[in-house]
């Protein structure tokens, strides 16, 4: 008997294989030039030919994205908790955070390069500047969604505000927190690439610039494949941690909120 989990995996696999087959067929049938859209077979050949370079540059981008992602969590969660616990901070800091997101992160990259040089730190900070905001917003929303009846029940039992926060508000907000962290995991990769486009000597963003200048379009698409794999690795690492921490009822609550 086939396990139920297999049925969840098969549809996206079949859809992916169908997309690859249609892509390969369309490029061959319509004779699309390689510099416009390379076939999947050409992209696979580029990965095989440049696997060492791709692996080395992928490691750089992965480190930048993970560090920016973790920094976003380390700063975003405490900041969201402070905002949710202090109406004064919510009125003063929260609007500034929202307004700061209107600044294009590409415009921040040259400033970070001037301040911190061409090393790892500017890319990490750019990834952080994009990744931390979903964590803050979702955590604040989750902490504000605690049912008032549960808070009154804890108060009637003589619990302090700290005990109520730790035992009720945090567990109830955990699905929202993980939803924000999942979004942040994708944004961190975007931030790392933005930093590499501006000033870098390594990384998949840097390799994309080199491939574009040399009109190596299959290599350009190969970088996209590796970027998608990096994003998937970080995302599913978060999913694994979520399954280890959250009980099934709270995970189903998160799925219900996502569908809404």
Q: Is 9 part of any domain?
A: no
11 falls in which pLDDT band (50, 70, 90)?
Answer: confident
- Structural domains of the chain, count: 1
Which of these, 12, 13, 31, 16, lies nearest to 39 by C-alpha position?
A: 31
Q: How far apart are CA 140 and CA 59, in angstroms?
A: 33
Looking at residue 105, the DSSP 8-state letter turns out to be: H
154, 164 Cβ separation under 8 angstroms = yes
Rg of the chain taking only CA atoms, in angstroms: 22
Q: For residue range 109-163, what is the model confidence (pLDDT) as tens digits?
A: 888 888 888 888 999 999 999 999 999 999 999 988 887 788 777 777 777 778 8
In a domain, 17, yes or no: no
Tens digits of per-residue pLDDT, 205-224?
999 999 999 989 999 999 99
Residue in the structure block whose two tokens are 């202090």? 86
Residue 3 lies in a domain: no
42 in any annotated domain: no
Domain of residue 96, CATH code? 1.10.3720.10
- Residue 163 within any structural domain of the chain: yes
Task: Let me know if residue 19 belongs to a domain.
Answer: no
Domain containing residue 178: 58-259
Q: Kindly report the average pLDDT of the chain as a whole number.
A: 86
- Asked if residue 23 belongs to a domain, the reply is no
């Amino acid at each position: 008997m086939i396990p139920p989990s297999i049925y969840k995996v098969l549809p996206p696999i079949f859809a992916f294989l169908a997309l690859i087959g249609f892509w390969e067929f369309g490029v061959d049938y319509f004779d699309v030039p390689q510099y416009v859209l390379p076939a999947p077979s050409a992209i696979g050949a580029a990965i095989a030919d440049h696997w060492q370079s791709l692996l080395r540059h992928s490691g750089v981008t992965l480190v930048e994205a993970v560090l920016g992602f973790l920094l976003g969590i380390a700063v975003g969660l405490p900041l969201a908790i402070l905002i949710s616990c202090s109406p004064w901070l919510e009125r003063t800091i929260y609007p500034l955070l929202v307004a700061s997101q209107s600044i294009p992160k590409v415009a921040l990259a040259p400033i970070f390069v001037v301040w911190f040089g061409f090393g790892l730190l500017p890319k990490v900070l750019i990834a952080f500047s994009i990744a931390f905001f979903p964590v803050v917003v979702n955590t604040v929303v989750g902490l504000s969604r605690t049912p008032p009846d549960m808070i009154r029940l804890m108060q009637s039992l003589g619990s302090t505000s700290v005990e109520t926060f730790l035992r009720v508000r945090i567990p109830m907000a955990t699905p929202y927190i993980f939803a924000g962290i999942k979004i942040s995991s994708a944004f961190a990769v975007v931030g790392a690439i933005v930093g590499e486009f501006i000033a870098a000597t390594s990384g998949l963003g840097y390799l994309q610039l080199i491939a574009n200048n040399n009109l190596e379009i299959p290599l350009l698409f190969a970088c996209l494949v590796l970027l998608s794999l990096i994003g998937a690795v970080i995302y599913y690492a978060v999913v694994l941690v979520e399954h280890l921490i959250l009980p099934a009822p709270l995970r189903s609550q998160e799925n219900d909120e996502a569908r809404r």
